[in-house]
């Protein structure tokens, strides 16, 4: 084969996710290193990571202990696959440890490669459950209008905004998915009645909506949602990809918000991003029939890297750090520090809304005339990474090792950015 010279400049071959590529080419921020709450760029800048990357770097960057655990595992066994009767020791160990930490009593643990993978695994299992119960018409999966559940086929269908489905089919990518209001629990009841509970397998929710706009549950929202789900035999899938492993000041946000899931989905914070890994905790009511008897059904789902050994030892090392350094409690403390700092933005006439109250994460929404993108650009110039979500909202979700002065600095640069744009 004759090699061809690719078009474009060196560095132009990478097609970034969710990116307007003409704007990105030539303007990338290329990260080459990380330590604690900071990352460094290829041109030598040090940036405070006020978003933990994509909500993943909970224990901070550059942990030698995790790198050492990974190196040891790679030198021993990179991984071995977990299909059928094979598996690897790290996957077995991690699953036992996770099962002890779980908010679901006596769960089984399905390991995956990430969040979208885990959503796919959980929701397929919910449908399969009803088929095995002799109620195969229960297939609909409902989700909240502002939710984000990743972008595999099910995730694209369940994530709230329509643009995630644009161009992939007439109305929705996976049939029999539907959405309801993120804030009005009566709407959930209405949608259940409209579709008919006999056709609904599951409802999926984040405890605190993350990428869809940092929305803590309104008072009473989950009580009502769970009551309707229970009355109608609708399984509850809780997506803790962002909130799991400490972001809300509890190991799982389900504890904080009184959620009682049948399936609980995790990723990101399980390794703090040191390797791709996700998982699904499965309640006994679903797993029992798969675990006993000659006639037990097989759940025909899985990926090559289900329980990747190196990812699993990284998760173990990450959990060791969370526990030893008390970082879940620290996240609870930092939530109040961030909240207090945000107070000085609350009365500004160029700030439409502050979203907080759901953990160590917050959003600042400037008024429409002030582009959040311009504030984020200013912040980057000042050495702080922020991220802009839809509806002109600035995301703040620092690592749990961020200190009080750094949190003050994050709010300072937002204040400076707002002044600058004005
Ligand atoms: C709540 C939630 N669920 C699922 C996902 C998808 O995870 P991944 O990007 O690892 O596939 C994300 C990613 O941001 C998420 O925030």
Residues 39 and 182 placed together within one structural domain of the fold:
no
Predicted local confidence at residue 171, as pLDDT? 75
Whether residue 262 contacts residue 235, with contact meaning beta carbons closer than 8 Å, is answered with yes
With a 6 A CB cut-off, is 158 part of the ligand 1 pocket?
Answer: no
Whether residue 129 contacts residue 201, with contact meaning beta carbons closer than 8 Å, is answered with yes
pLDDT in tens, 66-97: 999 999 999 999 999 999 999 999 999 999 99
Q: Which of 324, 343, 371 is the last residue of a domain?
A: 324
Task: Report the separation in Å between the CA atom of 282 and the middle of ligand 1, taken as the mean of its atom positions.
Answer: 18
Residues 78 and 26 placed together within one structural domain of the fold:
no
pLDDT in tens, 165-200: 999 987 778 999 999 999 999 999 999 999 999 999
With a 6 A CB cut-off, is 421 part of the ligand 1 pocket?
Answer: no
Q: Percentage of the chain with pLDDT > 90?
A: 95
Residue 61 CB-half CA count within 13 A: 20
Asked if residue 15 belongs to a domain, the reply is no
With a 6 A CB cut-off, is 241 part of the ligand 1 pocket?
Answer: yes
Task: Report the separation in Å between the CA atom of 296 and the middle of ligand 1, taken as the mean of its atom positions.
Answer: 31
- Nearest in space to 360 (alpha carbons), one of 99, 57, 66: 57
Rounded Cα distance between 356 and 249, Å, is 13
Whether residue 188 contacts residue 203, with contact meaning beta carbons closer than 8 Å, is answered with yes
pLDDT in tens, 335-393: 999 999 999 999 999 999 999 999 999 999 999 999 999 999 999 999 999 999 999 99
Q: Which residue's alpha carbon is nearest to atom 13 within ligand 1?
A: 150
Residues 81 and 110 placed together within one structural domain of the fold:
yes
Q: pTM value?
A: 0.98
Predicted local confidence at residue 3, as pLDDT? 72
- Cα(first)–Cα(last) distance of the chain, in Å? 57
Sheet holding 31-35, edge to edge: 31-35, 38-41, 46-49, 384-385
Q: Which residue's alpha carbon is nearest to atom 10 within ligand 1?
A: 115
Tell me the CATH number at 26: 3.90.1150.10
Residues 52 and 104 placed together within one structural domain of the fold:
no
What domain count does the chain have? 2
Q: What angle do CA 61, 64, 65 make, to 5 degrees?
A: 110
Q: What average pLDDT score do residues 294-318 get?
A: 98
With a 6 A CB cut-off, is 206 part of the ligand 1 pocket?
Answer: yes
Residues 313 and 372 placed together within one structural domain of the fold:
no
Asked if residue 4 belongs to a domain, the reply is no
Helix (H) or strand (E) holding 264: strand 263-266
Predicted local confidence at residue 422, as pLDDT? 86
> CA–CA distance from 278 to each of 250, 308, 360 (Å)?
19, 10, 21
Residues 155 and 203 placed together within one structural domain of the fold:
yes
pLDDT in tens, 196-232: 999 999 999 999 999 999 999 999 999 999 999 999 9
Residue 26 CB-density burial (10 A; 0-12 exposed, 13-18 middle, 19+ buried): exposed
Rounded Cα distance between 312 and 305, Å, is 10
Q: What average pLDDT score do residues 317-331 get?
A: 98
Asked if residue 33 belongs to a domain, the reply is yes
In the chain, DSSP finds a helix count (H) and a strand count (E) of: 14, 15
Whether residue 109 contacts residue 338, with contact meaning beta carbons closer than 8 Å, is answered with no
- Nearest in space to 271 (alpha carbons), one of 232, 316, 213: 316
Q: What average pLDDT score do residues 295-321 get?
A: 98
Residues 113 and 222 placed together within one structural domain of the fold:
yes
User: What are residue 39's DSSP bridge partners?
Assistant: 34, 47
Residues 132 and 188 placed together within one structural domain of the fold:
yes
Residue 262 CB-half CA count within 13 A: 23
Residues 193 and 91 placed together within one structural domain of the fold:
yes
Tell me the CATH number at 267: 3.40.640.10
With a 6 A CB cut-off, is 395 part of the ligand 1 pocket?
Answer: no
Choice from 51, 113, 115, 210 to test ligand 1 binding pocket (greatest atom count within 8 A of CB): 115
Q: Which of 277, 307, 324 is the last residue of a domain?
A: 324
pLDDT in tens, 104-145: 999 999 999 999 999 999 999 999 999 999 999 999 999 999
pLDDT in tens, 232-286: 999 999 999 999 999 999 999 999 999 999 999 999 999 999 999 999 999 999 9
Q: Which of 307, 324, 341 is the last residue of a domain?
A: 324
Choice from 16, 146, 149, 161 to test ligand 1 binding pocket (greatest atom count within 8 A of CB): 149
Q: Which residue's alpha carbon is nearest to atom 3 within ligand 1?
A: 149
Predicted local confidence at residue 5, as pLDDT? 83
Predicted local confidence at residue 407, as pLDDT? 98
Predicted local confidence at residue 126, as pLDDT? 98
Asked if residue 7 belongs to a domain, the reply is no
Asked if residue 392 belongs to a domain, the reply is yes
Predicted local confidence at residue 239, as pLDDT? 98
Asked if residue 5 belongs to a domain, the reply is no
Residues 218 and 339 placed together within one structural domain of the fold:
no
Residues 96 and 26 placed together within one structural domain of the fold:
no
Task: Report the separation in Å between the CA atom of 189 and the middle of ligand 1, taken as the mean of its atom positions.
Answer: 26
Asked if residue 16 belongs to a domain, the reply is no
Range of the domain at 209: 66-324
Predicted local confidence at residue 2, as pLDDT? 73
Asked if residue 203 belongs to a domain, the reply is yes
Residues 257 and 123 placed together within one structural domain of the fold:
yes
Task: Report the separation in Å between the CA atom of 348 and the middle of ligand 1, taken as the mean of its atom positions.
Answer: 32
């Amino acid at each position: 084969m004759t090699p061809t010279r690719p078009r474009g400049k060196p560095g132009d071959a990478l097609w970034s996710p969710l990116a307007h590529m003409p704007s990105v080419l030539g303007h990338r921020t290329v990260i080459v290193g990380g330590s604690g709450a900071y990352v460094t760029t290829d041109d030598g800048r040090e940036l405070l990571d006020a978003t933990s990357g994509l909500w993943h770097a909970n224990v901070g960057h550059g942990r030698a202990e995790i790198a050492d655990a990974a190196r040891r595992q790679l030198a021993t066994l990179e991984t071995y696959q977990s299909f059928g009767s094979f598996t690897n020791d790290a996957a077995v160990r991690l699953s036992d440890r996770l099962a002890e930490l779980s908010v679901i009593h006596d769960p089984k643990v399905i390991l995956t490669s990430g969040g979208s993978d885990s959503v796919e695994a959980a929701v397929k299992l919910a449908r399969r459950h009803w088929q095995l119960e002799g109620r195969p018409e229960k297939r609909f999966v409902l989700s909240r209008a502002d939710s984000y559940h990743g972008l595999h086929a099910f995730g694209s269908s369940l994530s709230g905004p329509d643009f995630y489905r644009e161009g992939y089919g007439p109305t929705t990518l996976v049939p029999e998915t539907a959405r309801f209001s993120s804030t009005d629990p009566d709407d959930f009841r209405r949608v259940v009645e409209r579709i008919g509970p006999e056709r609904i397998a599951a409802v999926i929710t984040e405890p605190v909506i993350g990428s869809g706009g940092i929305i803590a549950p309104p008072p009473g929202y989950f009580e009502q949602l769970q009551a309707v789900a229970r009355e109608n035999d609708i399984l509850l899938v809780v997506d803790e990809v962002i909130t799991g492993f400490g972001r809300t000041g509890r190991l799982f946000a389900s504890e904080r918000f009184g959620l009682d899931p049948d399936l609980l989905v995790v990723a990101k914070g399980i390794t703090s991003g040191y390797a791709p890994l996700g998982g699904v905790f499965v309640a006994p009511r679903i797993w029992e029939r798969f675990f006993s008897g000659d006639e037990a059904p097989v759940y025909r789902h899985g990926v090559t890297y289900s329980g990747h050994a190196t990812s699993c030892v990284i998760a173990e090392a990450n959990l060791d750090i969370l526990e030893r350094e008390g970082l879940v409690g620290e996240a609870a403390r930092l939530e109040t520090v961030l909240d207090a700092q945000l107070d000085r933005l609350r009365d500004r006439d160029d700030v439409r809304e502050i979203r907080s109250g759901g953990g160590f994460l917050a959003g600042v929404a400037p008024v429409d005339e002030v582009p959040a993108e311009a504030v984020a650009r200013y912040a980057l110039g000042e050495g702080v990474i922020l991220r802009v979500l839809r509806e002109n909202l600035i995301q703040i979700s620092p690592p749990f090792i961020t200190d009080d002065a750094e949190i003050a600095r994050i709010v300072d640069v937002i204040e400076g950015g707002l002044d600058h744009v004005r």
